[in-house]
Every structure is written in C-alpha cells, then in structure tokens.
Amino acid sequence: MGQVIVMTDSIEQAAARSVAAGGSATTGVALPGPGPAGGRRPRRMSKRMKLLILNAVSIIGGIAIWWVLAESGLQLPTPPEVLQKSIQMWNAGILQEDVAASLARVLSGFLLGTAVAIPVGFLMGWYTTARGLFEPWIQFFRTIPPLALLPLVLVLMGIGELPKVFVIFLAAFLACVISTYQGVVSVDRTLINAARVLGAKDGTIFARVIVPASTPFILVGMRVGLGSAWATLVAAELLAAQAGLGFRMQQAQIYYDLATIFVNIVIIGILGLAMDRLLLFAETKLTAWQERR
Amino acid sequence: MNDTVNPAKISVRGIRKTFELKDTEFVALERVDLDIADNEFVTVVGPSGCGKSTLMNILAGLEEPTAGEALVDGRSVHGPGPERGVIFQQYALFPWLTVRKNVEFGLKLAGLAKAERRERAEYFIRMVGLEQFADALPKMLSGGMKQRCAIARAYAVNPSILLMDEPFGALDALTRVKLQEQLLDTWSSEKRTVMFITHDVDEAVFLGNRVIVMAARPGRIYDVIDVNLPYPRAEDVRLSPEFTELRNRVWHSVYHQEAGAVAGSASS
C-alpha cells in the first residue's frame, strides 16, 4: 500500500512540473486581457521582450563571470579557449563521432524503454492480473538507480553497446511505465460510462477513451524518462565506453584537459535541453485539449 | 396510463440494490416499483442518498440490481443499449474531441457512413444552438454549452429514452432556467421518454408530467405527484398559482418525510 502511495507522489510531482512548464510556454497566448486586444498587445510584447533581454543578459553575464574567474588565476579554460577546442575537435571529427555515439545509445535505449513501457503500463492499468504480476518488480527496480546495476550488467553482457543501452532502457522504462499506469487508472469513470452508453465495447473504450485520456501522463513519463536516460548515459560512458561524450570527458580528465571537459559539458547540456524542448513541443501539440487552470 | 392495454416503456419491478461498506451492508434501493409510459417526462427528486442516481444507473445498464429487474420495452435490462441515452451531471464530453466529433461519437460506433454522420450531427448541433462552436474543443465552452453538447450527443444516436442525472445541477440559476425551457422545446418536437433526476423541487415540477419523490435510508419511492400543467410550459407557468401549489406539495414531500414510509404501503 505504502509503495503505491510513493508511486502516486512522484507522478504528481512530474505532472505538476509538466503543467508548470506547459503553462509558462503558453502564457503569452492564454492570457487574453479584458478590453480591446490592440490596447494590451504592446504591453504583452514588451514583457516578452523584457524576459528575452534578461535571459540574454544573464547568459552573457554568466560567461563574463566565468571568463573573469578563468583569468584571475583559477585553473579554468577561458571561453575562447573552449570555443577553439570545440572547433578543433569538430575538425578532427571527434565531436561528431562522440555526439553520434551518445545519441545512438540514448535514443535506442529511450525508444525501446518507452515502446515497452507504454503497453506494460496499459496492461497494468487495465488488467488486475497484469498489475499483480508486474508491480512488485517495477517497485523493486525503481528503488535501484539503473547505474547501480551497471557492474552486474557489464559482467553479464560484456563491454559492447548492449550493457549501456540496457541500463538506459531500464531508466527510461521505469519512469514511463509508472506514469502510463497512473494515467490509465486515473481516467475519469464518467468518460468510460459515457462511451459505454453510446455503444462502445471494451476494445473501443480502450482505443478511443483510455488511450487519449492517458496521453498527457504518457508524455510526462516520456520527459522524465528522457531526462533519466540522458543522466544514465553520461554516467555509463564515464565507466565503460570507447566513444561518446562521457568517455571523452573521462579521457580528458586523465590528461588534465579541462577545455575538452568544458566542451563536452556544454554539448551535453545543449543536447539534453534540445530533446526536452522537442518532447515539450509534442506535448503541447498533443494535449492542447487539456483544461489548464 | 393503462398498464394492461399499453405496457409501460420503462418498468421497474421490485428493485433492491445494496453495497458492501466495510462490514455493513448499505441499502441504496429497497422495493422500488415504477412504471413510466411512452413519451412521458418523469422527474425524480429526493434528498441526497435516496438512491436516485443508483436507480438511473440501473436503468442505464451501468449497474446491476441486487434483486428485482428493470424492463425497457418489456425486455430485461443488462448493460447499456442504444435505445437509452444518458446525460451526466459532469457533462462527460470527451475533452480531446471537438463538439462535432463528440456528437458523432455514438454515430460512428453505430457504423454510420461519414456523410450521414456529418448530417445528423449537424442537425442536432443546430438543435441545441451550438453551430458556431461545432469545431471548438470542450474547454472553450461554458458549462451550459457543454451540457447542450451532451444533450445533442445523446439525441444523435436516436434513443427512445433519455436518462438525465441532474444535468443542470452544476449550472447557475439563470442558465438552468434557460436550459429547462430549451429541453422542453426539444422534447415537444422530438418526443422521447425522459427520466430526469434532480434535487431542485422547482425544476422537478416545471419539467415533469409526474414527480417521483424518493426518500433515503433505505432509498425508496416515497410519493408520486402528478403535474397536470399543460405543455408547452414557459415563464407564465412558473408564476401560476397551480405551479406554486404543486411546488409546495413536492417540497413538503421531500423535506418533511416520515421515517420508513413508502408510497402505496404508507399507512395513512
């Protein structure tokens, strides 16, 4: 019983996060003020501009502070050095190779994880039998960070791509399966009844009510899953890989090559952000029907 | 309403419904007998916990009675059927579908071709006055508009019975009065047998041919009051002395119930 409550909790947090993110993304459109629209428009624009300017100031300021710290004797590479390094790595083809290797791992693990998680989550929500069979294992494995399984997985699966993809798969699967399940069980009973009285049988109710109604939950699960897949990837590469962003940083650490480490950190951040924005975009498109406050 | 010549459209025969509550058994309905004639508009009113929604769910086929049976057109009810349309208090529109798609939902399940679906949906959307919002999502609609859409959706599959569970309960007083009049308009042009559940005494008297008053603990039929006010009914009916008198009778019946009394078997 306690387990279930813990589970619900984390999903709610995830959902709240998603709502907050979605809310902020649509604020500009969702706030038609009273009175003539023309009168409000300039003020709204200026607010948006203000935010953009502040963002830019913050970024430039941050880089400036970094630069000052680097120049003032802290053992950091300066921004131009990092930029130069990244160009150098690009020209040598290392950067592309690492990005490709890391993306291939994270995407295959993530896509496999979600592809398995969604049907399993639906089964758990729909059939008590499936829930009874799957739940103990899911509850057990979600308390273990997927990385903690890496030593075992490395022994069992060797040092190829398989163990890394597997732990990423596990990370994405666990995040997504729970939220899919939660989505299915929280579908409004009245909607199911409404479909039934209009003549829908179980199959139709599943396809036309359960699936669309749980889409927001699934997408939140996918975003959480992607975040945890990405985190797991980099850590897995730090431990065991021959290419990839994490591997490159690990190598650079041995040679005390701080610029390379910086390049990789920045790339990891940018790629993670880009993937998250992509999913957020899909989410706002697919769940535009939701009433948001 | 001569039962022997013209069998009732809806018959409720000795229905009892109990729910398990921890160790105790909660009796939601006890010895409920009721006949509703074809094209009759029956309203059911009663305090909360009197089992009026349970009775409707049994007729809708969403719940099975513990004992007794519900008959529609002489056939025992097991599960929902296309001849019974249901309108819920919470509207129950599919939020990811537009008004049009919501109205077409049941038609699609019934296997109607696209053009025919369009046409029928169009007709009922116009009937409830939502033609300008046909392609809007439910989140864009007010409560009253949502319920009008739900009414169009239920009408579209052409049921001979409409079961309405406090459909206007969540609306403000003004919208409610408007929708009541629109519902009667619709009912006069598209005759159906209606069972309308409400907790609003005025609404029960204004809409119904007959008001069924229910009582709680156990849920049962307490009183049946005929409303002999002519249709079409509009504002003048609401203000008439006859209406006031009936309203007072129903009010008294709902709010001053004698413990244990049952219609018909009540000792007087």
A290 touches chain B (CB under 8 A): yes
How confident is the model at residue B76, as a pLDDT? 93
B19 touches chain A (CB under 8 A): no
Report ipTM (2 d.p.).
0.88
Residue B131 has pLDDT above 90, yes or no: yes
CA distance A137 to A147: 17
Written in H, E and C, the secondary structure of A224-265 is HHHHHHHHHHHHHHHHCCCCCHHHHHHHHHHCCCHHHHHHHH
pLDDT > 90 in chain B, percent: 75
A70 and A81 within one domain? no
The token pair at B201 is: 């005494």
CA distance B49 to B47: 6
CA distance A119 to A266: 35
A251 and A153 within one domain? yes
A136 and A176 within one domain? yes
Average pLDDT in the B113-126 region?
94
Sign of CA dihedral A150, A154, A157, A158: positive
How confident is the model at residue B162, as a pLDDT? 95
Q: How far is CA A84 from CA A79, A81, A91, A93, A262, in A?
A: 8, 5, 11, 14, 11
Q: How far is CA A283 from CA A25, A219, A289, in A?
A: 11, 6, 11
What is the residue-wise DSSP string for A91-115? HHTHHHHHHHHHHHHHHHHHHHHHH
Give the three-class secondary structure for A188: coil
A15 falls within a domain = no
* Closest residue of chain A to B155, computed from CA coordinates: A198
Give the three-class secondary structure for B33: strand
Average pLDDT in the B89-98 region?
94
Restricting to B residues 34-53, those with a Cβ less than 8 Å away from any Cβ of A are none
CA distance A117 to A169: 10
Interface test with B, best of A29, A186, A192, A197 (most B CBs within 10 A): A197
A127 falls within a domain = yes
Is B109's CB within 8 Å of A200's CB? yes
CA distance B175 to chain A (A): 22
Is residue A83 within a helix (H) or strand (E), and if so which, with residue range? Answer: helix A79-92
Chain A residues touching residue B137 (CB < 8 angstroms): 288-289
- What type of residue is A124? M
How confident is the model at residue A42, as a pLDDT? 56
Sign of CA dihedral B122, B124, B126, B132: negative
Chain A residues touching residue B88 (CB < 8 angstroms): 190, 193-194
Residue B99 · residue B126 · CB < 8 Å = no
- Contacts with B83 (C-beta within 8 Å, 6 or more apart), sequence order: B72, B73, B159, B160, B161
Q: Which of A196, A198, A290 sits opposite B95 (nearest CB)?
A: A290
Q: Which of B84, B90, B138 sits opposite A197 (nearest CB)?
A: B84
- What type of residue is A159? I
Question: Of A60, A76, A92, which residue sits at a domain end?
Answer: A76
> How many beta-carbon pairs below 8 A join chains A and B?
59
Question: How big is the CA angle at B144 (ends B170 and A290), to the nearest 5 degrees?
Answer: 85
Residue B219 has pLDDT above 70, yes or no: yes
- Residue B71's DSSP bridge partners are B11, B76
A192 touches chain B (CB under 8 A): no
Is A194's CB within 8 Å of B94's CB? yes
Residue B94 has pLDDT above 90, yes or no: yes
Residue A77 · residue A260 · CB < 8 Å = no
* Closest residue of chain B to A292, computed from CA coordinates: B139
Q: How far is CA A199 from CA A90, A233, B109, B116, in A?
A: 60, 47, 6, 18
CA distance B63 to B18: 11
CA distance B240 to B260: 33
Question: Of A55, A76, A97, which residue sits at a domain end?
Answer: A76
Is B86's CB within 8 Å of A197's CB? yes
Residue B64: which of B46, B79, B86, B52 has the closest Cα? B79
Length of chain A: 293
A83 and A52 within one domain? no
- Contacts with A158 (C-beta within 8 Å, 6 or more apart), sequence order: none
A226 and A125 within one domain? yes
A277 falls within a domain = yes
CA distance B268 to B93: 46
Question: How many domains does the structure of chain A reveal?
Answer: 2
CA distance B5 to chain A (A): 30
A265 torsion bin: left (phi>0), alpha (psi -120 to 50), beta (else): alpha
Q: Dmax of chain A from CA atoms?
A: 75
Chain B residues touching residue A211 (CB < 8 angstroms): none
A278 and A164 within one domain? yes
Average pLDDT in the B145-164 region?
94
A151 falls within a domain = yes
A98 and A83 within one domain? yes
Q: A33 φ, ψ to 5°? A: -75, 165
A271 and A138 within one domain? yes
How confident is the model at residue A9, as a pLDDT? 40
C-alpha of B254 from chain center: 18
Considering the entire predicted model, what is its pTM?
Answer: 0.78
B39 torsion bin: left (phi>0), alpha (psi -120 to 50), beta (else): left
A271 and A173 within one domain? yes
Chain B residues touching residue A208 (CB < 8 angstroms): 94, 105
Residue B81: which of A181, A191, A198 has the closest Cα? A198
Mean pLDDT score of chain B: 90
Average pLDDT in the B16-37 region?
91
Chain B residues touching residue A288 (CB < 8 angstroms): 137
B143 touches chain A (CB under 8 A): no
A12 falls within a domain = no
Is A197's CB within 8 Å of B95's CB? no
A225 and A240 within one domain? yes
B31 torsion bin: left (phi>0), alpha (psi -120 to 50), beta (else): left
**Tokens 């921890």 appear where?**
B22
Range of the domain at A222: 77-286
Q: Dmax of chain B from CA atoms?
A: 60
Is A198's CB within 8 Å of B139's CB? no
Residue A115: which of A180, A27, A32, A197 has the closest Cα? A180
CATH code at position A99: 1.10.3720.10
Q: B143 φ, ψ to 5°? A: -55, -45
Is B153's CB within 8 Å of A198's CB? yes
Chain A residues touching residue B96 (CB < 8 angstroms): 212-213, 215, 289
A271 and A220 within one domain? yes
Is B96's CB within 8 Å of A188's CB? no
Q: Which of A188, A212, A289 sits opposite B137 (nearest CB)?
A: A289
For chain B, the C-alpha Rg in angstroms (whole number) is 19
Q: Which of A199, A200, A291 sits opposite B95 (nearest CB)?
A: A291
pLDDT in tens, chain A (293 residues): 333 333 444 444 444 444 433 333 333 333 334 444 444 455 566 888 999 999 999 999 999 999 999 888 888 899 999 999 999 999 999 999 999 999 999 999 999 999 999 999 999 998 999 999 999 999 999 899 888 888 898 889 887 888 889 999 999 999 999 999 999 999 999 999 999 999 999 899 999 999 999 999 999 999 999 999 998 888 888 877 788 999 999 999 999 999 999 999 999 999 999 999 999 999 989 998 988 75
A260 and A172 within one domain? yes
Is A191's CB within 8 Å of B153's CB? no
Interface test with A, best of B78, B88, B94 (most A CBs within 10 A): B94
CA distance B17 to A44: 58
Is A193's CB within 8 Å of B82's CB? no
A219 touches chain B (CB under 8 A): no
How confident is the model at residue A158, as a pLDDT? 83
